[in-house]
Structure 1
Amino acid sequence: MTAQMDLALLVSRARAVSVLTLAALGGTLIAPGGVTPAHAVTTHATKALQVAASKKGSPYRYGAAGPNRFDCSGLTLYSYKRAGKRLPRTAQQQFNRTHRISARNRQRGDLVFFHYGGFVFHVGIYAGKGRLWHSPKTGSVVRLDRIWTNQVWYGRVR
């Protein structure tokens, strides 16, 4: 019985360490096989955000979708493709394909669409704290910037 109690104590401590580690890294604890649709969205969004961040410094090129040069929608397309999700090519098409969310409900990895009236002209990936990863314009590179206007809509890739 002592060996079983020792084993139970070790397992309990291992679980506590795992939970604390996940909490420190901003993760969640899920039972094996228990991936929920919300978790799947978060996983894809987190992976896409990581991919976009890994492209920091890659030059802008109109019409490019990676792996070394990007325009704005090319970066989001490439990032989500690497995360296991398919997006259409242009910023407007990507907007049309995503689920609308409010600024209050935005999460890291959601798409940020810049618009003028009803026309979407730029897209990036929300990084948290009012920032996004994007490939802004000719002569620039993929970078992390503050969202500079309120003329944005948010979309979630499902």
Structure 2
Amino acid sequence: MFELIPFGKRREDAFGQLVKSFHDAFNDDVFAPFKGSMMSFKTDIKESEQAYLVEAELPGFQKEDIEISYADPYLTIKAVRKEDHSVEDTDQHIVRKERRYGEYVRRFYVQQIAEDQISALLKDGVLKLEIPKQPNSGKKRIQIRDDI
């Protein structure tokens, strides 16, 4: 007599167990650098009457690795990571070599800023940008009259 479990269901269970065992075998911290390279950096944005204040978390980056540019109306922060680590034995045979390359880019839509007055400071892995707003361009409110 046949089992009470349909044929397809038995195959799904066996396949599910196989996939789970592969997932368990390869789900290790060895792949952590690959997972981290897909993440974007975190930012905090504040606005005052005079400026926008941006704080971006960029731990491990040097100021030479960071590029800030403004092409109206987008402010772009780009950080490039290039790391090479190798451990060799006495005969110069490579025992372990790790490389990590990545490019992190964030773009922000901002208008009416004084782009020539933007200032940046990198300290303790935090990039701080002060983006001054352009002074009000003398916009005048036009009053609507009741009669012409």
With structure 2 as the length reference, what TM-score do the two structures score?
0.30
| Larger strand share, 1 or 2 | 2
With structure 1 as the length reference, what TM-score do the two structures score?
0.29
| Larger helix share, 1 or 2 | 1
